Amino acid sequence: MARRPLPRILTDRAPLTRGRELARTAADGAGDIFHPLITLSRGLRRLAVSGGQRWRATPQDRRAPMCFLIGACVLVVALAPYGPLLGLLAVMGAAAWAGRDHVPAPTGPDEAEAARLRVLYEALVPYFAGDGDPEPLYTYGGDWTAAFDAYEFDDDGRIVRLRLLYPAYFTDGEAAARARIEQVLHAKSGRGREYRFDWDEEANTLTLAVLEALPTDIAAQRFVTAPGETVLGFTDPESVQRTLPVTDGETARDEPPVVWRTGPRSTAPHLLILGQPGSGTTTLLRSLALQALQHGDVLIIDGGGTGEFGALAGRGGVLGVESGPSGALATLAWAAQETERRLLTANRARQAGEPAPDDIRRPLWILADRPTALAHLAAAEGRDDPQRLLQVPLRHGRAAQVTVVVAEQFDSSDLLSEPVRAHTRARVVLGPATPDEVRAVLGAAPHTTPTPVVPPGRGYARLGAGPVLRLQVPATPDPYDEATGEAHRRAVLALLPERTVPAGEQPAGRPVRMTKTLTEPATGEEAPGRAAVEEPTQEAGPPSASATGPTGGAITVHGTVRAAGAEG
């Protein structure tokens, strides 16, 4: 007997599937339609439950006054114009607010984040575990939640902030022990970012935080600073307690600066800048020169001879731009004589009970870029080292309102003289450098890891005995360089003073004569010793220098200053 097939309705599952989808769609549509009613009913129920709990929690002797107050309120609402309608709307609004869906905030890390924290915990066990500890905080297979009490992750699941506890017997006072922990955390938390480590020895806690990149779009501009204050660059907001308004095109914002104070009350009156080629040392010198010209005079020694300071030649307040050994020696000899003259004039003014003359209160800046290159050329010509003439401005510059800034490359830093190393207590390191190199220059290691990509002008700064700060120098390129952008070119040209020597009248290679005359009294009485400064005059001949001593006569310096228009 042949087997009869089952009905098609029992074998074909397509109608059943379509029926489920239609039912699910209808249920979703009904849920969307009746969602307001569901919310209101849930809110009314929650309000009723809350009111019952409040009634049961009210003492017996206070229930009668409460009933009277509720009845009075209901009566006022009922008798007021549109009172019942407004009362109904208020109840519905309260019910809708109480009946809304409460989505609990996620607490704790997810699986991937917990796995990352566990890996980090296991990596720290060999360094924080102790053999004789009866209750070790770090053990293999231990609980990481007891060691990590605060943590944050970004959208990609990477750690952006972590605070961990470590045993009290860990040698957190040793730099080598700290460096090992920081290296492990840097490797396990993810490379390619810059981290900051804050050690709290008293509480036995270490905080790791990911630092944002410093802004590189700040161009040269007039910064809002007081006389005697110079902006080296910008740093992290938590490192300083001050901000300055800066402009970026048409927008303005506040940025935390690294302010260097010079003058008689400065603890670090002179600055040393070290970096790799192309790291921005010359850019920082140009930025300092533009800021110093607002209130003082500038003397520039260009040891590299690349013409990076050609835009400053012949400008008001720029006493000279020297790039040869003979001109540098003559100019620095004048600077040493001028420093001594200022000291003697100030001493005479104090003895006479008079204020210091204006000519010695105007700051004088000596900017030396790669002086060791000039020392090599001077030695080849049988001349003296120009760095030796910097000893007087470095030693007595703070009292004489003379500031010295020396910029050199790492490969020639061993050739710097001892006075330069001893008297430059403000230090800046630019470009890629290892923590040991930064420690050798600044005297302390930075609390941050090296950045993977180092833009020009990026580095570290330390002023005296202060902390090591991250630094980003404002973009101050050479405006006559063809590779300079138009926006940066205009920004630098807008800060340059007017020319005192027209470019067309000053031929290339002609020296400029600077003369300072000290007026000595004919009698033995002391005089304030004011200086008369003559206007620059042109004089033919090779660079030479003649000076009479700091006590009288004329101090004349001949140096080759090329006009900007004559430079290639």
Residue 517 · residue 531 · CB < 8 Å: yes
The mean pLDDT of 446-454, rounded to a whole number, is 85
Q: Are residues 277 and 306 in the same domain?
A: yes
Confidence (pLDDT) at 331: 93
In a domain, 8, yes or no: no
Residue 440 has pLDDT above 70, yes or no: yes
Task: Write out pLDDT tens, residues 36-51.
Answer: 888 888 888 888 888 8
Cα pseudo-dihedral 275, 483, 307, 390, rounded to 10: -30
Q: Are residues 416 and 334 in the same domain?
A: yes
In a domain, 391, yes or no: yes
- Boundary-marking domain end, from 457, 475, 507: 507
- How many other β-carbons are positioned within 10 Å of the β-carbon of residue 455? 15
Q: Is 50 annotated as a binding residue?
A: no
**At 2, is the pLDDT very low, low, confident or very high (cuts 50, 70, 90)?**
low
Burial 283-299 (b: 16+ CB within 10 A, else e): bbbbbbbbbbbebbbbb
Residue 489's closest CA among 475, 474, 500, 502? 475
Residue 359's closest CA among 530, 553, 514? 530
- 431: Cβ–Cβ under 8 A, 6 or more apart, which residues? 275, 276, 278, 279, 280, 454, 458, 459
Q: Is 280 annotated as a binding residue?
A: yes
Contacts of 8-14 with CB under 8 Å at 24 or more apart are none
pTM: 0.71
In a domain, 218, yes or no: no
CB-based burial of residue 445 (10 Å sphere; 0-12 exposed, 13-18 middle, 19+ buried)?
middle
Strand 402-409 and strand 364-369: the pairing is parallel
CATH of the domain at 486: 3.40.50.300
Task: Write out pLDDT tens, residues 301-321.
Answer: 998 888 899 999 999 999 999
Give the integer Cα–Cα distance in Å for 437 and 469: 15
- Boundary-marking domain end, from 177, 210, 243: 210
Q: Are residues 157 and 246 in the same domain?
A: no
Task: Write out pLDDT tens, residues 399-414.
Answer: 999 999 999 999 888 9
User: By mean pLDDT, which of 30-39, 211-220, 332-341, 550-559 is the weakest?
Assistant: 550-559
Give the integer Cα–Cα distance in Å for 314 and 295: 17
Confidence (pLDDT) at 110: 80
CB-based burial of residue 377 (10 Å sphere; 0-12 exposed, 13-18 middle, 19+ buried)?
middle
The mean pLDDT of 6-32, rounded to a whole number, is 62
Instruction: Give DSSP secondary structure letters for 237-267.
Output: TTT-S--EEEEETTEEEEE-EEEEE-STT-S
Confidence (pLDDT) at 453: 82
Residue 50 DSSP class:
H
Confidence (pLDDT) at 551: 35
What percentage of the chain carries pLDDT values higher than 70?
Answer: 82
Q: Is 277 annotated as a binding residue?
A: yes
Q: Are residues 467 and 498 in the same domain?
A: yes
Give the residue carrying structure tokens 């990076």.
308
Residue 305's closest CA among 281, 325, 276, 334? 325
Confidence (pLDDT) at 80: 86
3-class SS of residue 351: helix
**At 568, is the pLDDT very low, low, confident or very high (cuts 50, 70, 90)?**
very low
Q: Is 281 annotated as a binding residue?
A: yes
The mean pLDDT of 431-435, rounded to a whole number, is 88
In a domain, 545, yes or no: no
What's the start-to-end Cα distance of the chain, in Å?
111
Q: Are residues 205 and 259 in the same domain?
A: no
Q: Are residues 270 and 413 in the same domain?
A: yes
| Domain coverage including residue 332 | 229-507
In a domain, 516, yes or no: no
Residue 167's closest CA among 198, 206, 197, 123? 206
Q: Is 278 annotated as a binding residue?
A: yes
Task: Write out pLDDT tens, residues 353-401.
Answer: 998 888 889 999 999 999 999 888 888 888 888 899 999 999 999 999 9
Give the integer Cα–Cα distance in Å for 358 and 341: 13
In a domain, 19, yes or no: no
Residue 14 has pLDDT above 70, yes or no: no
Task: Write out pLDDT tens, residues 181-193.
Answer: 999 999 888 878 8
Confidence (pLDDT) at 48: 87
Q: Are residues 233 and 372 in the same domain?
A: yes
Q: Please state, in angstroms and as integers, the Cα–Cα distance from residue 177 to each residue in 82, 170, 180, following that order.
A: 76, 8, 5
Q: Is 31 annotated as a binding residue?
A: no
Burial 14-35 (b: 16+ CB within 10 A, else e): eeeeeeeeeeeeeeeeeeeeee
Q: Are residues 143 and 290 in the same domain?
A: no
Burial 201-223 (b: 16+ CB within 10 A, else e): eeebbbebbbbeebeeebbbbeb
Task: Write out pLDDT tens, residues 264-310.
Answer: 889 999 999 999 998 999 999 999 999 999 999 999 999 888 889 99
Give the integer Cα–Cα distance in Å for 156 and 145: 21
In a domain, 1, yes or no: no
Q: Are residues 202 and 315 in the same domain?
A: no
Helices (H), 129-211: 175-189
Q: Are residues 138 and 253 in the same domain?
A: no
Total tally of structural domains belonging to the chain: 2
Residue 411's closest CA among 433, 385, 396? 433
Average pLDDT, the chain: 82
Residue 259 has pLDDT above 60, yes or no: yes
User: By mean pLDDT, which of 57-61, 425-429, 472-476 is the weakest?
Assistant: 57-61
In a domain, 500, yes or no: yes
Residue 145 DSSP class:
G
Residue 499 · residue 536 · CB < 8 Å: no
Give the integer Cα–Cα distance in Å for 375 and 303: 9
Q: Are residues 136 and 256 in the same domain?
A: no
Give the integer Cα–Cα distance in Å for 477 and 489: 7
Task: Write out pLDDT tens, residues 61-113.
Answer: 888 888 888 888 888 888 888 888 888 888 888 888 887 766 555 556 788 88
Confidence (pLDDT) at 52: 84
Give the integer Cα–Cα distance in Å for 296 and 444: 32
- 70: Cβ–Cβ under 8 A, 6 or more apart, which residues? none
- Boundary-marking domain end, from 460, 478, 507: 507
Residue 183 · residue 453 · CB < 8 Å: no
Confidence (pLDDT) at 423: 94
Residue 401 · residue 228 · CB < 8 Å: no
Task: Write out pLDDT tens, residues 505-534.
Answer: 544 444 444 444 444 443 334 333 333 333
Give the integer Cα–Cα distance in Å for 528 and 531: 9
Q: Are residues 502 and 463 in the same domain?
A: yes
Confidence (pLDDT) at 508: 43
CA atoms within 13 A on the CB side of 438: 24
User: By mean pLDDT, which of 20-34, 104-118, 335-349, 458-472 is the weakest?
Assistant: 20-34
What are the phi and psi torsion angles at 480 (to 5°)? -90, 0
